[in-house]
Structure 1
Amino acid sequence: MSTHDHNHHIEERFEFGGKLKTYSLAAIGVGALLVILGFAFGQGSYAMSNLLLMAYYFACVCICGAFFCGVQYVAQAGWSASILRIPQAFAQTLLWAGVILILVVIAGLYVQFPFKNIEGETHVLPALYHWAAKDATVKGSEIYDPVLIKKAGYLNIPFFIIRIAAMVFAYALFGRMLVRYSLNEDEVGGMLNYKKSFKISATFLAILGFTFPLFAFDNIMSVESHWFSTMFGWYNFAAMWVSGLSVMTLVIIYLRKQGYMQWVTESHLHNMGLFMFAFSIFWTYTWFAQFLLQYYANIPEEVEYFYRRWEPDYMFLFWTNLVINFCAPLLVIMMRDSKRNYNVLQWIASILVIGHWLDYYVMIMPGTQGTTEHWWQHFSMFGFIEIGAFLTFAGLFCFMMFSALAKFSSLIPKKHPFLEESLHHHI
């Protein structure tokens, strides 16, 4: 229900129930069953890799919600005031997403499976982070790795877990502070809470900018502990931003089609499409910069990453990743009319969600699963485990995020100082 008063302010509350809640819970149940079957059928290592992929994806989408709010406050943007409840719901979900990611990371450090290395030797190693193997730094052992001794000050289990947990909880804290100030603003009005939001956002963006590359290094790059890239953090940052914007756009369009947020216009979606397009180009720039610099330099410890991905079982996915995440937005939403068409934007956002799932897949799988002699041996595993992990985390996200959204007394920040500008936004 929505009502308009003489100031054009809108009172509207989201109700989470019915088919949406049922489908969310069903996705969690069916997905979890498929993942469990993966473990039962002897594909535990592969299932763990998919759990890392989706837990990291889930956390990044929620981080994007907090980041979006922070950017809007620091930029003093007016157009987005009326849609801030959506990214705020993402930010409210971030703590739980972070806890799940930490649990998956800890499991990946201690649960062990056989792994066939690039030389064809098989060893029992931690499911995700092979550097955490007990004998990896013990001279004389079969898996002794002298490179890891030099990195032991950074890559050791206690410090590793502490870093990831500290970053997740810091991001979640800032996100919740922004939500609290916004809710306080609805109660008391005035500029006090907006000014607090501005200051907190400036601090949060500075901290996120310096630490998110470390977040990507720890969760994903350390899967291949010999390899390093100074571009990898920004590459992941671009992926986080595009995938989060795409999910945000899908949620806004869904709510509008369900009769909520009728104040959202083509101009608001135009802005979301602009962000998606612009940062898809930025993602492509970081992808190409990382690839070109390492290809040109041809330093063994760097090109190992791309060597693995040029093996027959990953090369198709390696290039498909670029085609989907670059060509789709470039060829479609570069045009003004496409960014203002709900159905077109919905399709492109869906393609980018899948595209960045593939992006994370290519980042993770060669390091945790190794390569196979023939491409079909890899794709023989491709199927129900991926679907199960995706369904589980998509269901979790929908259930947690929409539950958080339903707790807001209004779908609009009623006393945001730029609300009128947002309600009359036109480009």
Structure 2
Amino acid sequence: MATLTHQNSATAEQLVVTDGARKTFITIIVAGVVVLILGLIAAIFHIGEGEHAAATEAAGHLGASAGHGAGASVHHEGSPVWQKRVLVSLWHSNIFFLGVSTIGTVFMAINYVAYAGWSVMIKRIAEALSAWIIPGAVILLVVFLLGRHDIFHWTHEGIMDKGNPNYDAIIAGKSGFLNLPFYLIRTIIYLGIWAYFSWKLRQLSLAEDQLGGTVWFHKSINVSALFLVLYAVTSSMSAWDWVMSVDTHWFSTMFGWYVFASWWVSGIAAIALTAIFLKQAGYLKALTSNHLHDLGKLMFGFSIFWTYVWFSQFMLIWYANLPEEAVYYNQRLGGFEGRYTGIFFFNLIINFVFPFLGLMTRDAKRQMIIMKIVCIAILIGHWSDFYLMFMPGTMKAESGFLIEIGIAAIFLGAFLMLFVRRLASASLVPVHHPFLDESVHHTT
């Protein structure tokens, strides 16, 4: 009696990157550059701002003269608004893409330690997501070194020195953690751990493809277990360092979970969207609506989880009504003449209401068109979630969208180039994975 083998159930599939695909990526980058230039022109010449620009400038001078109290608008000397917006936007989009990139490795590691078989068909997509970690790490360090004064209030000159006019007692009390050498050391450790384990799991996966056998699978489980322990710590700490310390006076004990939830559901959406595009292009022949159904359940469930963390954080701060905690939401709900109120509610609608209603039924999770729309909405929604985390604490009332969207498009085009190149460098189907048959015959 014949035995079913991996080669009979699913064969290797090599992605061919067409000239059309490359042109699309370049077009996205060029479009981003054009939008960025338009945004810079509008910001430099105050186009479309009218009387609000003068009012904002006056408010900025008043805030600067009032000192460094909570919520004061303090501008780093020598940095025009447009330059500050560029630096903050680079930080914003890079943190988003870097987090999504690392989630590919997290997803893969979780499936290894859980001995999950269903996800083998999309394993190479998760592997390829990590292609942005090294470039993202370099960009993050460069932007921090060049623009830290425009992004992080705690890096300002003399802010932790008693007797200095810029002295801030609250920030000085955090100097043991928020100081330049320790901050850089931590950041390098986070990025080094994420990059190393992403590389290691990729190498084990490629070795399994070439040499066969289960030894690589068992090594991957051990590596994944260690990575998940380290990621659990570094993901929360990176959220404190890279995101929460923007609002230096404010803190939340749930913030690490909140940022992770945003990264995680965005990463799942990126994997699902890629799987759909590959399937529609004729690849991943063994991918079925059952795989999409499971990805849809993950997006549905973790959109609710993100909302749970969001609401828990908001509700506890609202209920306590302590000024040092409530200032974070006051700035986003009605602060700066209501500048962020619209995006605050848009954030809830696109990240909770839309995925919840869109993916509620079983059939919706199995339809490519619905899944594609929801995936795109989730990615846009959580990019805007990070926008809301960064802009009120950095740009105050001087934020905008043209510069930010232009830079996001440039990042997207560059990310897709590296991501697709990594996808094309190995078979889309890990033909020697011991659970491949289980994935091919997966049903839900």
The alignment's TM-score, normalised by the length of structure 2, stands at 0.86
Indicate yes or no: 2:299 matched with 1:276.
yes
Mapped contact 1:59–1:101 kept (Cα < 8 A): no
Mapped contact 1:32–1:392 kept (Cα < 8 A): yes
Task: Report the Cα distance in structure 2 between the residues aligned to 1:37 and 1:51, rounded to whole angstroms.
Answer: 17
Opposite residue 350 of structure 1, the aligned amino acid is: I
Residue 354 (structure 1) aligns with: 380
Matching of residues 401-412 of structure 1 within 5 Å: 401-408=419-426, 410-412=427-429
Residue segments in structure 1 that go unaligned for 5+ positions in a row: 110-125, 372-377
Task: Report the Cα distance in structure 2 between the residues aligned to 1:387 and 1:228, rounded to whole angstroms.
Answer: 28
Mapped contact 1:246–1:349 kept (Cα < 8 A): yes
Deviation at 1:33, TM superposition (A): 5.1
Task: Report the Cα distance in structure 2 between the residues aligned to 1:184 and 1:78, rounded to whole angstroms.
Answer: 19
Indicate yes or no: 2:273 matched with 1:250.
yes
Mapped contact 2:117–2:435 kept (Cα < 8 A): yes
Q: Deviations over 1:343-373 (max 9, x none)?
A: 00000011111110111111110000114xx
Give 2:234's match in structure 1, choosing from 208, 211, 225. 211
Residue 10 (structure 1) aligns with: 11
Residue 385 (structure 1) aligns with: 403
Task: Report the Cα distance in structure 2 between the residues aligned to 1:60 and 1:316, rounded to whole angstroms.
Answer: 25
Deviation at 1:37, TM superposition (A): 5.8
Residue 443 (structure 2) aligns with: 426
Mapped contact 2:10–2:286 kept (Cα < 8 A): no
Q: Deviations over 1:286-310 (max 9, x none)?
A: 0001011111112222111111112
Give 1:95's match in structure 2, choosing from 108, 111, 134. 134
SS in 2 for 1:84: helix
Q: Deviations over 1:237-296 (max 9, x none)?
A: 100100111111111111111111121110000011011011101100100010111111
Distance 1:5 1:175, change over 3 A: closer
Residue segments in structure 2 that go unaligned for 5+ positions in a row: 45-80
Task: Report the Cα distance in structure 1 between the residues aligned to 2:33 and 2:150, rounded to whole angstroms.
Answer: 19
Structure 1 stretches of 4+ moved >4 Å: 36-40
Residue 320 (structure 1) aligns with: 346
Mapped contact 1:38–1:47 kept (Cα < 8 A): no
Give 2:366's match in structure 1, choosing from 311, 317, 340. 340
Residue 134 (structure 1) aligns with: 157
Q: Deviations over 1:376-407 (max 9, x none)?
A: xx6xx533212211111110110010011111
Residue 24 (structure 1) aligns with: 25
Q: Deviations over 1:314-342 (max 9, x none)?
A: 12211221121110111110210000000
Indicate yes or no: 2:196 matched with 1:173.
yes
Mapped contact 1:55–1:104 kept (Cα < 8 A): no
Task: Report the Cα distance in structure 2 between the residues aligned to 1:20 and 1:421, rounded to whole angstroms.
Answer: 32
Residue 259 (structure 1) aligns with: 282
Mapped contact 1:49–1:127 kept (Cα < 8 A): yes
Task: Report the Cα distance in structure 2 between the residues aligned to 1:105 and 1:31, rounded to whole angstroms.
Answer: 22
Deviation at 1:52, TM superposition (A): 1.2
- Superposed CA RMSD in Å reads 1.7
Give 2:144's match in structure 1, choosing from 72, 94, 105. 105
Opposite residue 313 of structure 1, the aligned amino acid is: R
Mapped contact 2:6–2:436 kept (Cα < 8 A): no
Task: Report the Cα distance in structure 2 between the residues aligned to 1:415 and 1:6, rounded to whole angstroms.
Answer: 8
Residue 367 (structure 1) aligns with: 393
Task: Report the Cα distance in structure 1 between the residues aligned to 2:36 and 2:434, rounded to whole angstroms.
Answer: 47
Residue 112 (structure 1) aligns with: none
The alignment's TM-score, normalised by the length of structure 1, stands at 0.90
Deviation at 1:36, TM superposition (A): 5.5
Distance 1:258 1:324, change over 3 A: same
SS in 1 for 2:12: strand
Mapped contact 1:277–1:329 kept (Cα < 8 A): yes
Task: Report the Cα distance in structure 1 between the residues aligned to 2:244 and 2:129, rounded to whole angstroms.
Answer: 25
Bigger CA drift: 21-30 or 347-356?
21-30
Distance 1:34 1:88, change over 3 A: same
Deviation at 1:34, TM superposition (A): 4.1
Task: Report the Cα distance in structure 2 between the residues aligned to 1:139 and 1:293, rounded to whole angstroms.
Answer: 33
SS in 2 for 1:144: coil
Task: Report the Cα distance in structure 2 between the residues aligned to 1:36 and 1:164, rounded to whole angstroms.
Answer: 31
Give 2:106's match in structure 1, choosing from 67, 81, 98. 67
Mapped contact 2:7–2:431 kept (Cα < 8 A): no
Indicate yes or no: 2:173 matched with 1:150.
yes
SS in 2 for 1:91: helix
Opposite residue 422 of structure 1, the aligned amino acid is: S
